[in-house]
Each structure stands twice: as structure tokens, then as C-alpha cells.
Amino acid sequence: MLRDGVRIGSRDASANAPTVSVVSPAEGATLDGPTATLTWSGGDADGDALRYTVLYSADDGTTWDTLTVNTDGTSLTVPRSDLVASTTARVRVIATDGVRTASAMSGRFTVGNNAPAVIIDTPAAGALFSSVQNVDFTGAGFDAEDGALDGAALRWTSDVDGLLGTGSELTVNAADLTEGTHLVTLTATDRAGATATATVRIRIARVAPPPVLQVRVEVKPGSDPAPVTPGSPGSLPVAVITEDGFDATTVDPLSVCFGAADDPAGSGDCTEQHGEGHPEDVDGDGDLDLVLHFETRQTGIRPGDEEACLTSRTTDGRDIAGCDAIRTG
């Protein structure tokens, strides 16, 4: 090996080139399972260690795609989706001892058609649309043989309203959809008729629900911030405070959930410990507030948390939420 005419390294070539032969797939074989295993055998009369490069052709050897390089094994298992469907497929294996090389090519075999892949990007699961909002459906489909799919190859359907439209992007007005819950399916179909589906569930309402009412909440009333020992036994008092336009005593204790700010319902039992609230004038303003109790170790509050939150619903169906500062150190 030379660089600018200067010798920087050398390696002696052994006397014999390696040998290699493809064992499988055999000529005429059909690969139609979820994976494909290719095997070969190699040898070297000089005892040199061999390394192999494996290539795949879907067009009878006209063009080649590399499956692996520099492997010392004599088999390779790949997802069938890595192999483009073909009735004139071939595998080629190149063996090298580091200097000399040899190659072998399989006979023709068949690789079955691959089903496409499909995803839904929007809308998000559980999304609510109301009145005359537009629902933007976006997704994508890809097929190993056909490439990116679009147009009629992508069909949007609802289990309530049937066909919604086609293509990777589709906008439907919520007023044109039946009120209620819809399971929306995006179906991708390739030219060979193979299909794949993705689904998302959304809700359609004729009238938008009122926004969640933010209310004042006090953890351990009278302390600011409230000291909380995560995982400790016992109960934690939490007060919902009555303010102008909101009567805390209308809160339904059976709908209350209290816990860590990032996810009040994320761990343990976030419900009121006794299933009932206790009216009490917590802040001394002459109005009755509502005091609730929760098992501290069920709240999911962790060391370092600085806030805890409560969600609930009033007896007339209004959703409420509120948070308060805590100290866990």
C-alpha cells in the first residue's frame, strides 16, 4: 500500500482464493413468511478467516441492494419487508480472505408481496370536535414495492359514517359527521391488493362543552406551601374554596381525583378517602368551603414535587380543576 509513492503497509496474499456457494434460498423457492433466512458456505484452502458481503437483487441480477457486509457468519435472517417482491429474485454472496475474493449467485427464487405500512398523524386519540370545526386527517402509507402511497391507495373511513375520503391529507367539517364517538380507520392498499390499517378514536359534539373551571384549592389549609411527606401513611386534607360564582359545596365528592400535578390519576387511588366531603368555612369569609381527604401514599406525589392538583365535577355537570403549591423536602 502506497501513499504519495511511499510504502505505508503491506500484506502477503495467500496462495489460494476462497470458495463460496449459496445454500438457500434454493432455485425455485418461494419466500412468503415474515422473515427470510439466507445461508451459504465458504472455505479457504489456506485456512484464512473469511468475511462475507451479501447482496439481494429483485431484477434477476441487473441491480443489487446490500443486505450486510463484513460478516463472519454463514447465515442471515432479515425481515421479508427488506426484500422487494419478485419472481426473479437472486442472492449474491462475496467472500474475502482479506486480499483474494470469490462470489456465488443463487438461482432464481420468488419473494412474496409485502403488505404496506400505514400511520395516522392527526387527529390525536380522543380528540373532541364540535360545531363547525374542521377535522384535519393526516397520515402516511409506504410500501416496499410501490414506495410512498397516496390518493386512492389511502382510504379514510368511520365506523359511523362510512367513507370519509382518500389521500394522505383530508379535511372534513365536524358538522358533516354524526355526533358521538367515531373509530376512524386509515387503510393503505398496494398495487397487489395487500392492505394495512391504522385507527384513531375521536368524538364529535354539536355544542362545545364549557371550559374546565379553574378553582382555588388549598392542600393542608393554613399552610403555604403545604408540607407533604411522599408515601407516608395517613390522610391529607384538601379544601376546595368557595369564591364568587362558584359554590364549593356543589362539588361531587365521588368525582374527585387528587394527586401529583403531572398526572393526578397516574398512580394509586386518587379518589376521596371516605367518598364524601365536609362543608367548613376554611378561609373565614363566611362561605362554606369543602374539605376532602386523601390517602397520602395513594396520591403519587414524589420527592421534589412542588405542586399537587385536583380535578372534579359539580353536581350540575361542570368540570373543575385546581392546584396548590406543596413542599416535599
Looking up residue 95, the CATH number of its domain turns out to be 2.60.40.10
Domain boundary, last residue among 184, 205, 226: 205
Residue 312: what pLDDT? 94
* Count of structural domains, the chain: 3
Residue 132 CB neighbours (<10 A):
9
Same-domain status, 217 and 323: yes
Same-domain status, 100 and 44: yes
Residue 144: what pLDDT? 87
CA distance 141 to 154: 7
CA distance 252 to 314: 5
CA distance 145 to 114: 7
Same-domain status, 189 and 293: no
Same-domain status, 95 and 55: yes
Residue 208: what pLDDT? 67
Question: Can you give the residue range of the structural domain that contains 61?
Answer: 2-111
Same-domain status, 83 and 143: no
Single-letter code of the amino acid located at 283: D
Same-domain status, 89 and 139: no
Exposed (0-12), middle (13-18) or buried (19+): which is 197, by Cβ within 10 Å? middle
Name every residue whose Cβ is closer than 8 Å to that of residue 270 and which is 6 or more positions away in sequence.
257, 258, 259, 264, 294, 298, 299, 300
The residues of the chain scoring below 50 in pLDDT are: none
What pTM was estimated for this model as a whole? 0.51
Domain boundary, last residue among 205, 236, 267: 205
Domain boundary, last residue among 187, 205, 223: 205
Residue 263: what pLDDT? 75
Same-domain status, 316 and 237: yes
CA distances from 188 to 44, 45, 104, 116, 170 (A): 49, 52, 38, 7, 14
Same-domain status, 90 and 152: no
Same-domain status, 219 and 322: yes
**Domain harbouring 304, CATH code:** 2.60.40
Same-domain status, 163 and 218: no
CA distance 82 to 210: 50
Same-domain status, 323 and 218: yes
Same-domain status, 42 and 58: yes
